[in-house]
Structure 1
Amino acid sequence: MGAGEGPRLNSRQTRKRNRYRPVATGRGDTMKRMLRLFGTWLAAATLGGFAHAQAPVNGGTLNLIVQPEPPTINLGVNKLGPVSFVGSKLYEGLITLSPKLEPIPMLAESWSISPDGLVYTFKLRKNVKWHDGKPFTAEDVLFSFQKFLPATFARTRQVMEKVESITAPDSHTAVFRLKQPFPSFMLIFDATGGTIMPRHMYEGVTEYRTASQNNTIVGTGPFRVKEWRKGAYIHLVRNPDYWSPGKPHLDNIYFHVIPDANGRAIAFETGRIDALRGGDVENFELRRLAIAKDVKLAESGWEFLDPIGFLNLNLRNKPLDDVRFRQALAHAIDRNFIVRSVFSGFGRLTDGPFTSRSPFKNTAAETRYPFDPARARALLDEMGLKPNADGVRAELRLVPLPYGETWQRFAEFIRERLGDVGIKVTLVPTDVPGWYRRITSGDFDLALNFVYLLGDPAIGSNQTYLSFAGMPVPSSAANVGGYSNPRVDELLRTAEHTQDVAERRRLYAELQKILSQDLPVLWTHELVFPTLHRTKVHNLLATGLGMNENFADVWIKR
């Protein structure tokens, strides 16, 4: 989810609002087709297929911002947003994903899927070297998915529980055999989720999360670490032994650390920085910065992450355990204002757990909660929550998401709107570790958050709504509100293994109906993360991973 994998500052901008690119393939129909055909994806479908017609120019330095400064750049150990941004240039996965979430070869040059959807066979590239010169083999794939990633990454651990075996018939073939079909299985193999780690570096290690080897960054990516000056910048340089001939095109990438949001805006405006990732500056700055003639604004590159914003509700605490109270909250908050004013027009309303990008989105199944303070007060009256002498019916603590002024304004607006119907809200400011600690320990009533949907409900949504049997408080930032509904659990578990797309849609329609009635969280809007970059920078957003791509194809016109 957003917290466990690094919620980032939201932003969006454009005078011409681009429509969301529909993703009807890669999550439904494409997966079904892949499962029917025992074919092979050819290495010709490479990232280069997305390149512009202009011939790339080699050389040059790309200046970016990483905010906040990451705790590590080892992508195998940590999946926070800033770590993924930098680490995706150093480490790679078996595949990457197109904007339609179709698999593209990366460390795997081709693959095949058995007709029954149980066996995935990957043919690996034979000319790949780790940054220390050691050869990349199938043993690295087995090590990564059998040992390292399950120990460091909850999502991989959950998916690997569905795998019966992983074998290596030879040094450049890896075979995954599933216990039962799992149509979204291919979506776990990109660099950010399926980071391939060097087996030879971890001989004898058992505690992978805390291993001293994690401080030595050795990947297969197109860039290597030159220097990390804490509080100033992270400097990456071209990997001369990269497996794709002639790539990368850039000589250097600098990730500058600029803590002040105004300073980041000035750095871009004055030309010191070549691109701004979503969240690098506040939303209200984007229109001004996008006016410059040499600047391009794009909303693409977030097709895989597909973020949706919401309020976490702690259902263990009264009166949040009463669905009428949760409905009152929904009616009390003007979500149109959130999109229009708080997020400067960047976003889209939603009334359920899926965004408009999802092929499983079913608006007809969702219950809508229009802004209606009178209805909110009536529901509170029905519960017996009458105003006291100060006009207060109930008191709640709200933990804001500590990612800049936009999110602080968001929290203040929630406080104002709920106060209008007699719910007194106290803001509990904290830093990122404190925010994470509070929501995972249950020390909150309301908390601002968002989740990455990650291409398919079975990958990105399950963890938010599945019950945690026997656990009063979850140990990771997933179902932090303590929601439990046996029918929801059954629908999620059944749908994730169902190969028939029509049947999956039916199951997810019922899921959306139940969730929008139960309101385990209060969805606020689909987030949009625009990217601002100078027109001289090419191929910056070539895939569905956007700025979390490896940048092997990025080049600068000089």
Structure 2
Amino acid sequence: MKKFISLIIILLLSLSLAACDTAGQTEKTEQPMTSEQGLKKTAREERVLRMDGDNLGYPSVFTSSPKGRGYLLVSFTFDTLVWKDETGVIPLIAKDWSISDDNKTYTFNLNENIKFTDGTPLTAEDVKFSFDYLKEHPYQWVSVAPVEQVTAVDEKTVQIVLNEVYVPFVTDIAGNVPIMPKHIWENVTEPEKFNTKEAIVGSGPLILESYDKESGVYIYNANKDYFMGEVQIDKLIMSSVKNTKEALVADEIDMASNVKYGEAMKLKEENSKYKVIEGPGLWVGRLYFNFGIEELNIKEVRQAMYYAINRDELVQKALKGAAEVGNPGHIHPTSEWYSSDIKNYDYDTETAIELLTSVGITDTNENGIVEYNGKDLSYEFIVPEEQVPLAELITKYLGDIGIKLEVKAMDQNTIASLIKEGKFTLAFNGHGSFGGDPVLLKGFVSEETAASTPQVTTQGGQNWHNEEFNTIFNQQIVELDREKRYELVGKLQNIISDELPTLTLYYKKSISAYNPEVFDGWFFTKDGVSLAVPTIHNKLIFVRGQWNK
């Protein structure tokens, strides 16, 4: 027994000496970490989320792209009074608000602990300044024309008085005016040229670290003092990639929002590692008319074109099922404002030809092209480069009724500019911001109106003019009774479906794919982010999401 105890003691002493020796060796061999090792260690510890994206300019208020995704980059750093999530409008800078009996005065109470990213408290004076500044310097994303006066009642209370009742004020104006720090912007006289570090000081969940103008790479860091809570990532990197599906599978990005519909569906079938999330089709593909062309002012011509286009086949062949067939009344059929009491246009070339004949448009010289007052209905048809297959189908459809199109492809920004300037005859283009409040129908109003919509949705060219439409639009924008307003909006859709100021061809489906093993909790926003932007990039995800890596 004594020998056994002695052996145990010797063994314990040996182990103790070995441990001390190992500790000594560790202490002796530990060297200061090199900068490269430090970077590697930081990279492993940082929660870096990588997403695809587009080059949309410097992400400050007046220097970003007028497109919806350009505004979203701004929203990462600049908050608004209210915002939207998957259920609808929620408080943001304003913790609550009240509305006066006459529905023209809104009083917002601000959260107490909000600071701009330079450490300056956000107050009611900043809110007042931001609204006043946008009145003096018109903003391409949202108009504050309905606002008469803004008053900072005290440090955390702001009162906004409207010129007239404006039903979508909270969602479409209060929810989209970026609140800018007065102490930075008050001396900025040319905001479209303001692109310094000070220009991106906001109160949002992210802080811009860098933007590469040439490559379009954006790097954002978390706002460690964000008032809504801890931001669930440390860094966001957004960059353009050639093939988003391949980049996702190769682990080059964690979220692919520009993935093609078919590729996303295939990925969903083939690899359970990735999640695919589909949202509403708040992006519309439209045929635009220049109403400066005499015969295009004849509604029977436009109706004949709509009858001649096989929209079901168009969606299947040109879009591979990645869209829903367009509605003649323009508003998406899933919208709570949609009315089924509209004129329908099922594919019917015979009816199309009869309509043309009824207004004296026939092929008198038998050259295959119909004529109006001796002039062939032959038009240049401008389309974005990626939409040539769709344009070729439309060319065939209209050729079947004697209307000849010559397709001219160009980049989408050029198309948008030509439409806006009216330098076109027929054009195809599309845009988001196509959901939510029926204020989106402002694009068909041919007179001044207080309604606020992004410039990207406007009609362009010499506009279609309909007095009845103008009158009803202005009535519904101030109608507080929802049922009465629904009836008025239904009448607007009925007029659109009969007059066809545009041919609504399809609604593009929104789809994204991502790796939930890195980051999860993505959602699509009810009625789209901000002014109905059809994307998954709601900044709330950076606070509500779950980092899983």
**Corresponding residue SS for 1:491:** helix
Q: Mean Cα displacement is larger for which, 342-351 or 235-244? A: 342-351
1:295 counterpart = 2:274: yes
1:254 counterpart = 2:237: yes
Query: Which of these residues, 49, 55, 60, is aligned with residue 74 of structure 1?
Result: 60
1:122 counterpart = 2:118: no
What are the Cα deviations for residues 44-83 of structure 1, in whole angstroms up to 9, with x where unaligned? Answer: xxxxxxxxxxxxxx9521111112x112211454432332
Partner in structure 2 of residue 540 of structure 1: 522
Alignment of 1:111-510 (within 5 A): 111-148=97-134, 151-154=137-140, 156-157=142-143, 160-189=144-173, 193-211=176-194, 216-229=199-212, 230-231=214-215, 233-245=217-229, 247-258=230-241, 260=242, 263-277=243-257, 280-291=258-269, 292-300=271-279, 306-349=282-325, 350-363=327-340, 365-387=341-363, 388-393=365-370, 394-402=377-385, 405=386, 407-451=387-431, 452-458=433-439, 460-462=440-442, 464-468=443-447, 478-481=458-461, 482-510=463-491
Q: Which stretches in structure 1 are left out of the alignment for 5+ residues?
A: 1-57, 470-474
CA spacing shift, 1:188–1:533, aligned 2, 3 Å: same
Contact in 2 for aligned 1:361/1:509 (Cα 8 Å):
yes
CA spacing shift, 1:232–1:516, aligned 2, 3 Å: closer
What are the Cα deviations for residues 247-282 of structure 1, in whole angstroms up to 9, with x where unaligned? Answer: 101011110122x3xx333212222121221xx133
Query: Who wins on radius of gyration, i.e. which is larger?
Result: 2
Shift of 1:338: 2.5
Shift of 1:323: 0.8
Q: How many residues align?
A: 478
What are the Cα deviations for residues 119-167 of structure 1, in whole angstroms up to 9, with x where unaligned? Answer: 211111221121222221112211211213662425632xx33222211
Shift of 1:447: 1.8
Contact in 1 for aligned 2:86/2:523 (Cα 8 Å):
no
Q: Distance in 1 between matches of 2:197 and 2:308?
A: 47
Q: Which runs of 4+ in 1 moved over 4 A?
A: 212-215
Q: Distance in 2 between matches of 1:491 and 1:232?
A: 43
Contact in 2 for aligned 1:395/1:423 (Cα 8 Å):
yes
Shift of 1:213: 5.1
CA spacing shift, 1:535–1:214, aligned 2, 3 Å: closer
CA spacing shift, 1:358–1:448, aligned 2, 3 Å: same
**Corresponding residue SS for 1:99:** coil
Contact in 1 for aligned 2:67/2:456 (Cα 8 Å):
no
CA spacing shift, 1:285–1:392, aligned 2, 3 Å: farther
- Percent identity (aligned): 25
Q: Distance in 1 between matches of 2:83 and 2:456?
A: 26
CA RMSD between the two structures:
2.5
Contact in 2 for aligned 1:74/1:215 (Cα 8 Å):
no
Alignment of 1:517-556 (within 5 A): 517-536=498-517, 537-541=519-523, 543-544=525-526, 545=529, 547-550=536-539, 551-556=542-547
Contact in 2 for aligned 1:89/1:221 (Cα 8 Å):
yes
Q: Say which structure is richer in helix.
A: 2
**Corresponding residue SS for 1:165:** strand
What are the Cα deviations for residues 471-528 of structure 1, in whole angstroms up to 9, with x where unaligned? Answer: xxxx976132411111100000010001011211121122111111111001112332
What are the Cα deviations for residues 7-61 of structure 1, in whole angstroms up to 9, with x where unaligned? Answer: xxxxxxxxxxxxxxxxxxxxxxxxxxxxxxxxxxxxxxxxxxxxxxxxxxx9521
* Structure 2 letter corresponding to 1:383: V
CA spacing shift, 1:199–1:457, aligned 2, 3 Å: same
What are the Cα deviations for residues 432-470 of structure 1, in whole angstroms up to 9, with x where unaligned? Answer: 332122101111122223352341112x221x110047x
- Normalised by the length of structure 1, the TM-score is 0.80
Partner in structure 2 of residue 47 of structure 1: none
Partner in structure 1 of residue 7 of structure 2: none
* Structure 2 letter corresponding to 1:297: V
**Corresponding residue SS for 2:293:** coil
Contact in 1 for aligned 2:332/2:435 (Cα 8 Å):
no
- Normalised by the length of structure 2, the TM-score is 0.81
